[in-house]
Amino acid sequence: MSPKPRVVITRKIPAACEAEAQRLFDAVVNATDTPLTTAQLQEALKTADALLPTVTDKVTAEVLGVAGRRAKIVANFGVGFNNIDIKAAKELGLTVTNTPDVLTDDTADIAMTLLLMTARRAGEGERHVRGKAWTGWRPTHMLGTKVSGKVLGLIGFGRIAKAVARRAHHGFGMRVIFSDPYPPSAEEARALGAEPRASLEDVLREADFVSLHCPATPETRHLLNAERLRLMKPDAYLINSARGDVVDEAALVAALQAGTIKGAGLDVFEKEPVVTEALLGMENVVLLPHLGSATLDTREAMGFRALENLKLFFAGQPVRDRVV
């Protein structure tokens, strides 16, 4: 029998996934659970048949183009793949896969969590209680914004956005509007209580809450810039559970400081794990440490999905989630 394919896994993954990886492959896990350097990623590609990176690993053209590369597949642990230079991978004949579908519900839940927390000042309120500043209930204390019946604007209308629309419309009676260059059928949109708008700008002008669900690409970098933030209502909130560089973080800080918008809920940041210092002191901003898919159920499902793609690849069968 031929030896098992060697797979380098760049970060610790759930124990059940690690055990399955060891069963299927000659798996090497980065036990330090710290990001690999460019040189370490290059070494992995030279010494293994496959790389299983996470969305925070910078798999650049420099990494992929290392001399003596042995690996033929990069199985990304995540639905997003902006951490990988897809153009370079395609030119080099590398297969790249991702893990769609399995994290849709959890990421939609986080988007709704951010929306509710910002509207109802939940982060601020918890800090108030923990800081022992609360003196008791009173009619005008920490008044927030009602969510039910308000307008939710979705930028992008893929799997996660549709799951958010379902929760918002059927759970909270929100009116849902959206902008997407590839809209669903009118029937599917109606089932989700969602109405298309002709442009991103139309959504920004009308929505009480704007939630971002577009991929991170060169075209969407700083999609929400100073000019577009000025189109939002002064009592509107921005929610981002997509990717940090979709928002110009400096422009967002300026908009929040100027009162251009009322608040923001962020699970992702432009220069993760660094967060713009000004955001840390703002009570009208909810900040989460990229928790979109962070449940054991989903992280296990992501790991098994990545391993399934590897298993199919090494069996000479079509992979399930091919990006290139």
- Positions annotated as catalytic residues are 243, 272, 290
Tell me how far CA of residue 6 lies from CA of 34, 48, 103, 186, 246, in angstroms: 20, 5, 27, 47, 35
Question: Measured between alpha carbons, how far is 249 from 279 in angstroms, rounded to an integer?
Answer: 9
DSSP-assigned beta bridge partners for residue 179: 155
Q: Please report, as a single letter, which amino acid is at residue 27.
A: A
Residue 93's Cβ-side half-sphere holds a number of Cα atoms within 13 Å equal to: 4
CB 24 within 8 A of CB 4: yes
Q: Which residues contact 185 (CB under 8 A, 6 or more apart)?
A: none
Question: Measured between alpha carbons, how far is 324 from 321 in angstroms, rounded to an integer?
Answer: 9
Tell me how far CA of residue 281 lies from CA of 101, 138, 154, 256, 257, in angstroms: 35, 25, 27, 12, 11
- Written as six digits, the tokens of 238 are 């921005």
Question: Measured between alpha carbons, how far is 42 from 273 in angstroms, rounded to an integer?
Answer: 23
CA 299 to chain centre: 13
Helix (H, G, I), strand (E, B) or coil at 124: helix
- DSSP category for residue 48: -
State the first-to-last Cα distance of the chain, in angstroms, to the nearest integer.
30
